[in-house]
Chains A and B, each alone.
Chain A
Amino acid sequence: MLRIQNLSKRYKNAPVPALDDVSFNIEKGEFVGLLGPNGAGKTTLINLVAGIAARDSGRIAIAGHDFDSGHIALKTSIGFVPQEVTFDYLFTVRESLELQSGYYGLRANGGYIDYIMKRLSLYSKKNSPVRNLSGGMKRRLLIAKALVHRPDILILDEPTAGVDINLRRELYDFVRELNAGGVTILLTTHYLEEAEELCRRIILINGGRVVVDKSKDDFLRMAGDFLTLQVKASADIGARFSDFSGLTQSENMLTLEFSKHRLGEVMRILSECENKIDDISISSPGVEELFMRLTSGGAA
């Protein structure tokens, strides 16, 4: 459905590229979460896919059509929900959707527009000017606009940012329903629990590069694979862990992040230092800490 090969982009006067040789494929019907910290390159990546920004090198193909071909099927395959809530404020909800439908070359699409408005609880506001809508309603309208031409792939750039929990739940249900109906979803989000709940595959980018591309289950397993050891010791035992890269020390406190497969090694060192240890704890860091570790460059 979406093929990205060696995609690179550097903004004018930027010291480092926003995207650096990014490649991945997304198959039809997948639900993919694109994660990364601020400035990782997520929005740049989807802006390149949507054609909003021009790439420096690499290739993008959507629905079997090379991006440069300008083929109409390429653009009609994508529904794009931008991060910023932006509208033509002169029009009503229905007019906005009818115009959008027209831009996609669809005549007499009123039935589907009504369905989308009802499904997104916008129908009662159909004749309201967009400027009078609440923030949540505007967010729904953005999604409705992206869906009005029945795209094969829906790209959502942080669609639940600043949205209350009820609307977030509604959007989750709706996006799941779309995916179950065969629509491929690419979701960028800051909320790890959102990706964990919705996506079946996680692509994590940092510094413009893909750091992780795994199924959600593998990603969660990876989170479970790491352990955090905290030791309060009367003497310096840090030198014994010099072989580990995830070591931090402050006064008599030692923190070590390490892969589960090295647990035996850690236990052996700890037993050798047994008489110097005052307190000890080992915990599993979870997805959030794994995210922090992967995006800050540290790993055991």
Chain B
Amino acid sequence: MKIFYSRYFISFAALLNREILRFMRMGVQTLIAPFISNILFLGIFAGLFAGAADSLKRVEYIAFITPGLIISAVISSAYQNPVFSLVSMKYNDTIKEFNYFPIRPVMRMSAFILAGAVRGLLVGVMTYLAAGIFTGFEIQNAVLFWSAVFLIASVFATAGYLSGLYLTSFESSNFIVSLILMPLVYLGGVFFDTASLPHPLREAGSLNPLSVMIGGVRSLYSGAASEPAAHSVVITAASILLLFVISCRATVKGTGIRV
């Protein structure tokens, strides 16, 4: 376990610690707020659409939307964590410190991404626990389900990290969340099966990588999904690889931190 005593690992652990401390200190905004919003979704949709279960292979509607809600909460929390952290560092003018800290660029990037993924996972677990009150705590394949959730959280934390390098204001990051990320999430089948969409929305939906991710996770959660989990894993792995490589290049170049 020599690696845990190496200077590089200690630097990485310190930055990861900083990032986790940051969102824990702001727990009301970073953890409680998305949790409450998901509770409201569960309450409202459970009440309104409970009768729609028959068309969804006999799975109660609330059980149907639970994995979708988990993933939507995970995606938005994982994305927002590095974005807000990096943009607030730009506001405080502390981001330039990364130029003289002896933290390897890949280590720095990994700490931000991992912290974002951890926050996403925490919000996901909290949503699952809340949904469990309505549906019970049964997951078809729990290990694979939470592994897939973590992988998806990592994809969006990486996307958030990359955005954070380029964005300079909270307004622009909110713009991306409200006008790009959340529409993609909701059209990706959080509240409905994308196969039930009319033409041409169905075809458009099939181009949305999030519908594949959400469908795959849903099949791991309840077995009731049109999307095989294998597709989801391939799309997720390809996304994380692509984003990781782009982020690596931007980080090594000093994008966002160097004058």
Contacts and interface: CB of A to CB of B under 8 A. Distances in A.
* Co-complex (A, B): yes
Interface of A: 11, 47, 50-54, 72, 75-76, 78, 80, 82, 84, 86-91, 95, 98-99, 101-107
B103 A54 contact: no
Contacts of A90: 21-22, 25-26
B13 to A, nearest CB: 7
B99 interface: yes
A50 B100 CA distance: 6
B54 interface: no
Given A54-B259, A102-B13, A105-B10, A75 B5 contact: no
B186 interface: no
Interface in B4-18: 5-8, 10-11, 13-15, 17-18
Interface stretch (B89-97, B145-153, B156-164, B165-173): B89-97
Given A53-B259, A105-B10, A75 B92 contact: no
B148 to A, nearest CB: 32
Nearest to A76: B102
B17 A86 contact: no
A102 B6 CA distance: 11
A50 B22 CA distance: 26
Contact of B102 (A87, A104, A107): A104
A80 to B, nearest CB: 5
A52 B258 contact: yes
14 contacts: A50-B99, A54-B254, A75-B100, A76-B102, A78-B100, A86-B92, A88-B94, A90-B26, A91-B21, A95-B21, A99-B14, A103-B102, A104-B7, A105-B7
Given A51-B99, A52-B259, A107-B10, 16 more contacts: A51-B100, A51-B258, A52-B99, A52-B258, A53-B258, A54-B254, A75-B101, A87-B94, A89-B92, A99-B18, A102-B15, A102-B17, A103-B11, A104-B101, A104-B102, A105-B8
A296 to B, nearest CB: 28
Highest count of chain B CB atoms <10 Å: which of A11, A78, A101, A102: A102
A47 B259 contact: yes
A259 to B, nearest CB: 40
Contacts of B10: 102, 105-107
A42 to B, nearest CB: 15
Contacts of B93: 84, 86
A72 B17 contact: no
A84 B259 CA distance: 15
Contacts of A11: 259
B153 to A, nearest CB: 22
A91 B254 CA distance: 26
A231 B55 CA distance: 104
A105 B17 CA distance: 13
Contact of B15 (A51, A87, A103, A106): A103
A106 B18 CA distance: 15
Given A72-B102, A87-B94, A102 B14 contact: yes
